[in-house]
């Protein structure tokens, strides 16, 4: 069921619901737009907009309400801190920026982003960002094939490690949720890799270059079964990995989703259900538990590259999984949509 939609001011590429009370109704949506400035000059501009999403509102237009927008460099990715309402933004100018979400004028529904700090990570573009579980460090994937680990200080960001991890763009990086010294990465060089941050990070725990036929775009870990990892690739496959043999993880199953798998997000309450952004083939909800992986629902109301996707963590969903709310966005048509899946009650 569709709850609301709107067009953003630039090419839409990322959406993230805030997981923290009292801001669980807040959705951040980011844009990246390449602007010609005459001659060969180009600028990569972007924005982060906050929306209030309230699936309980009877008035449909109020279910998606713009709260605040900040103009930035082009945003490739953003993530909320796991411990506080802090938003990390990876941008096209090689910078990592942190924003604090605050209530506006004491209102329960109003919200604004306040600048906390930012730091230059590289002369290359920052393509992806992930927090470790204590929010003491962030990992950043870079367009020159490098990975960065950035430490959080009281008032600044500090690059603690940076190394050449891949031949081409690092589209994704992911801290192991149970073992924060392990960092996974995926790249345009078709490699799915793991790094032990306690050692020289240039020495990989493993590098799988055979399973993916094209670039590795996304990685996610099962929140209840830490030995299960998912990867998504331009080659259109969602792959399920058993990483108990860390030196040589086993690809236990795979599923062709009909489009490049750009993002995957586990349902916050249903451990074996994921939301996938499938680029040229819309969005899919996939069951990846015991047995074969299978698509249980598709959403094809976007008319451009399916990029951003996230689940809302809400009290309604905690009481009834059929009340789950999803936000999705597509790139060239600049469209943001909020909707409710129809088939979760059958799982």
Residue ranges of domains in the chain: 2-346
Give the whole-number percent of the chain exceeding pLDDT 70: 94
| pLDDT above 70: residue 36 | no
Q: What is the pLDDT of residues 242-254, one digit of tens each?
A: 999 988 999 999 9
Q: What is the pLDDT of residues 138-189, one digit of tens each?
A: 999 999 999 999 998 877 999 999 999 999 999 999 999 999 999 999 999 9
Task: Give dist(CA 208, CA 243) in Å, integer.
Answer: 12
**So what's the pLDDT on residue 40?**
62
**So what's the pLDDT on residue 225?**
87
Print the SS3 string covering 135-157: CCEEEEEECCCEEEEEEECCCCE
Task: Give dist(CA 125, CA 140) in Å, integer.
Answer: 10
| pLDDT above 60: residue 43 | yes
- As a whole number, the mean pLDDT across the chain is 92
Q: What is the chain's Cα-based Rg?
A: 19
| pLDDT above 90: residue 205 | yes
Please give the CATH number for the structural domain made up of 2-346: 2.130.10.10
Q: Is the peptide bond before 22 cis (omega within 30 degrees of 0)?
A: yes
| pLDDT above 90: residue 124 | yes
**Dihedral angle at the C-alpha atoms of 230, 345, 306, 2, nearest 10 degrees?**
-160
| pLDDT above 90: residue 57 | no
345: helix, strand or coil:
helix
Give me 288's structure tokens. Answer: 């990846």
The answer to whether residues 283 and 272 touch, using CB atoms and an 8 Å cutoff, is no
**So what's the pLDDT on residue 178?**
92
Least confident of 33-42, 115-124, 149-158, 255-264: 33-42
**So what's the pLDDT on residue 108?**
59
Sign of CA dihedral 249, 307, 81, 74: positive
| pLDDT above 60: residue 333 | yes
Task: Give dist(CA 322, CA 342) in Å, integer.
Answer: 7
Task: Give dist(CA 85, CA 103) in Å, integer.
Answer: 11
- Is pLDDT larger for residue 85 or for residue 317? 85
- Residue 110 — pLDDT band, cuts 50, 70, 90? confident
| pLDDT above 80: residue 345 | no
| pLDDT above 90: residue 201 | no
Task: Give dist(CA 257, CA 345) in Å, integer.
Answer: 22
Task: Give dist(CA 341, CA 344) in Å, integer.
Answer: 7
| pLDDT above 90: residue 340 | yes
Determine the average pLDDT of the residues in 265-286.
95
- Residue 56 — pLDDT band, cuts 50, 70, 90? low
| pLDDT above 90: residue 336 | yes
- Residue 272 — pLDDT band, cuts 50, 70, 90? very high
321: helix, strand or coil:
helix
């Amino acid at each position: 069921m569709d709850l609301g939609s709107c067009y953003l001011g630039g090419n839409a590429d990322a959406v993230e619901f805030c997981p923290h009370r009292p801001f669980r109704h807040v959705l951040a949506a980011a844009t990246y737009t390449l602007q010609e400035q005459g001659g060969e000059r180009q600028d990569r501009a972007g924005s982060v907009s906050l929306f209030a999403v309230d699936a309980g509102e009877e008035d449909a237009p109020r279910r998606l309400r713009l709260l605040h927008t900040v103009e930035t460099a082009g945003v490739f990715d953003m993530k909320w801190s796991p411990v506080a309402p802090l938003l990390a933004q990876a941008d096209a100018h090689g910078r990592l920026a942190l924003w604090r979400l605050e209530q506006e004028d004491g209102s329960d529904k109003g919200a604004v982003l306040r600048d906390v700090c930012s730091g230059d990570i590289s002369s290359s573009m920052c393509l992806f960002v992930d927090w470790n579980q204590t929010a003491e460090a962030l990992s950043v994937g870079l367009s020159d094939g490098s990975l960065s680990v950035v430490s959080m200080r009281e008032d600044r960001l500090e690059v603690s490690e940076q190394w050449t991890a891949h031949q081409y763009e690092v589209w994704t990086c992911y801290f192991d949720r149970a073992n924060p010294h392990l960092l996974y990465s995926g790249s345009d060089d078709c490699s799915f890799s793991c790094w032990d941050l306690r050692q020289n990070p240039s020495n990989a725990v493993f590098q799988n270059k055979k399973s993916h036929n094209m670039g590795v775009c996304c990685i996610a870990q099962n929140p209840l079964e830490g030995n299960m990892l998912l990867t998504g690739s331009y080659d259109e496959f969602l792959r399920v990995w058993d990483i108990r043999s860390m030196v040589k993880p086993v690809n236990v199953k795979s599923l062709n989703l009909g489009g490049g798998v750009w993002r995957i997000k586990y349902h916050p309450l249903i451990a074996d259900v994921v939301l996938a952004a499938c680029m040229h083939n819309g969005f899919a909800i996939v069951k990846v538990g015991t047995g074969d992986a299978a698509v249980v629902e598709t959403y094809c109301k976007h008319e451009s590259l399916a990029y951003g996707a996230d689940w809302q963590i809400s009290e309604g969903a905690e009481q009834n999984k059929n009340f789950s709310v999803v936000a999705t966005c597509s790139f060239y048509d600049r469209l943001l949509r909020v909707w409710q899946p129809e088939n979760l009650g059958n799982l």
